[in-house]
């Protein structure tokens, strides 16, 4: 059982900074921040979970069955992540590419302490066993002195390396296009890794800098002992509230311009771009098919198709697909039947995943997976792990990856430029 105390604060930005700094003393942290974006499906402005009472850490084998048993048995809030390579638990697939990060494939924990921020209202939602700490923690957070602002602290200069060089990227895209022209697939999300070895970063400072640049609606700071995710994700994978599920795939990207007139032109051009619209519509069809596995027959709907939204560094084309599910439908089963998200795989989905596994030069792991939570009622909300920095502090390994949809109309040079655009914020944060 949990108890809740509610407080109000006048300076919400200051409180958010203090509460995230306070959380750093715990080994388990999930921080989710909407950064003020208006989201008709949103339930809070920010949500923090810390200090695990119980947890589930597992590899691929029977991962979803283990998660289902854990979620049903705990019947409480649980927070965590699903790695992309859980595809191997769903289909006859494998992941044999290089892995420099060594994150577990699945990790969830039951937090002793949850802090929910909505407007200027702060809800402290604590397990009864630590409920007497609510007032003390609020006082500690409110009085906390933040460290002076500064750059990222590193033990050495950060030198970003490419796992796939430009010429090799073009060669691999050409192989993908050959598969498309043969009819094996008609779209695939092809990704590449940028990394740094023997590197130490200040994870919280790095996240703050990335978040300041991007201000993404599904920003995440995750800490699992010595492993960190610093995410500026703009994309929702899947949300469930009651018997309604919502997916909001992104396909289609354009750069921003400082000149308002030029920026409006770039936004308009993206909206009309036939190739980008085709990419988005292909994935919408895939998502509709995925949701139909869980949905009540005839309930899948497209609420938005190819709408353009503007973020700090890019314009994005986003669609919204919804469906209704039976009240007794298990939430983990819904995720299993739609995972991995269509925007990060391709179509047909299984063929695309098999082909990109051969052509990509790294194991995706948590990149293009999902981070989020389940509520005691079985509702959930998960993002897509993109525009993110991953860090294994013990192995001193830093990684970020980017990708794009390859279709029959793709021009390798343009696809490579789009990857660099998506990578810009992460590289600036690490090298700047």
Where in the sequence numbering do the catalytic residues fall?
235, 251
Largest CA distance in the chain: 65
The half-sphere exposure of 252 on its side-chain side, counting CA atoms within 13 A, is 32
d(CA 196, CA 25): 26
Q: What are phi and psi of 338, to 5 degrees?
A: -120, 0
Nearest Cα neighbor of 86 from 416, 424, 341 is: 341
d(CA 387, CA 423): 7
> Using CB atoms within 10 A of its CB, is residue 160 exposed (0-12), middle (13-18) or buried (19+)?
middle
Answer for the pair 245, 227: CB distance below 8 angstroms, yes or no: no
d(CA 418, CA 379): 35
For residue 103, the 8-state DSSP code is: -
Q: What are phi and psi of 301, to 5 degrees?
A: -135, 145
160 alpha-carbon distance from chain centroid: 22
d(CA 123, CA 6): 5
> Using CB atoms within 10 A of its CB, is residue 40 exposed (0-12), middle (13-18) or buried (19+)?
exposed
Answer for the pair 77, 375: CB distance below 8 angstroms, yes or no: yes
Placement of tokens 């010429």 in the chain: 167
Beta-carbon count within 10 A of 11 CB: 10
Nearest Cα neighbor of 287 from 245, 329, 240, 230 is: 245
Nearest Cα neighbor of 54 from 42, 39, 71 is: 71
Answer for the pair 206, 389: CB distance below 8 angstroms, yes or no: yes
CA dihedral in degrees (337, 339, 345, 346; nearest 10)? 20
Beta-carbon count within 10 A of 59 CB: 15
d(CA 90, CA 60): 9
């Amino acid at each position: 059982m949990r108890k809740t105390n509610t407080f109000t604060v006048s300076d919400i930005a200051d409180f958010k900074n203090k509460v995230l700094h306070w959380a750093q003393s715990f080994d388990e942290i999930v921080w989710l921040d909407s950064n003020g974006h208006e989201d008709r499906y949103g339930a809070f402005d920010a949500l923090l979970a810390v200090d695990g009472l119980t947890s589930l850490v597992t590899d691929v084998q029977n991962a979803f069955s283990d998660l289902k048993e854990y979620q049903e048995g705990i019947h409480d809030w649980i927070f965590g992540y699903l790695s992309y390579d859980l595809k191997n638990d769903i289909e006859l697939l494998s992941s044999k590419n290089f892995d420099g990060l060594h994150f577990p494939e699945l990790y969830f924990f039951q937090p002793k302490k949850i802090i929910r921020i909505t407007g200027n209202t702060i809800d402290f939602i604590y397990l009864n066993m630590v409920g007497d700490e609510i007032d003390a923690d609020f006082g500690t957070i409110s009085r906390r002195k933040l460290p002076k602002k500064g750059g990222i602290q590193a033990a050495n200069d950060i030198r970003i390396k490419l796992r796939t060089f430009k010429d090799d990227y073009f060669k691999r895209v050409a192989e993908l296009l050959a598969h498309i022209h043969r009819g094996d697939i008609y779209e695939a999300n092809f990704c590449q890794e940028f990394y740094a070895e023997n590197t130490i970063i200040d994870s919280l400072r790095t996240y703050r800098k990335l978040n300041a640049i991007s201000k993404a609606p599904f920003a995440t700071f995750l800490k699992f002992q010595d492993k960190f995710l610093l995410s500026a994700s703009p994309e929702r994978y899947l949300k469930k509230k009651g018997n309604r599920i919502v997916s909001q795939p992104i396909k289609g990207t354009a750069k921003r311009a400082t000149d308002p007139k030029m920026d409006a032109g770039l936004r308009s051009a993206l909206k009309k771009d036939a190739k980008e619209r085709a990419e988005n519509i292909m994935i919408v069809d895939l998502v509709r098919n995925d949701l139909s596995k869980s949905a009540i027959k005839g309930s899948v709907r497209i609420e938005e198709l190819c709408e353009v939204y503007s973020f700090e560094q890019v314009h994005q084309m986003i669609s919204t697909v919804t469906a209704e599910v039976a009240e007794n439908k298990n939430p983990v089963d819904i995720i299993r039947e739609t995972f991995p998200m269509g925007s990060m795989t391709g179509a047909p989905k299984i063929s695309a995943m098999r082909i990109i596994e051969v052509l990509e030069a790294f194991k995706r792991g948590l990149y293009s997976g999902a981070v989020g939570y389940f509520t005691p009622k079985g509702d959930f909300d998960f993002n897509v792990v993109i525009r993110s920095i991953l860090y294994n502090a013990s192995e001193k390994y830093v990684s970020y990856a980017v990708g794009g949809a390859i279709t029959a109309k793709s021009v390798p040079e343009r696809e490579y430029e789009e990857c660099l655009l998506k990578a810009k914020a992460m590289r600036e944060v690490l090298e700047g």
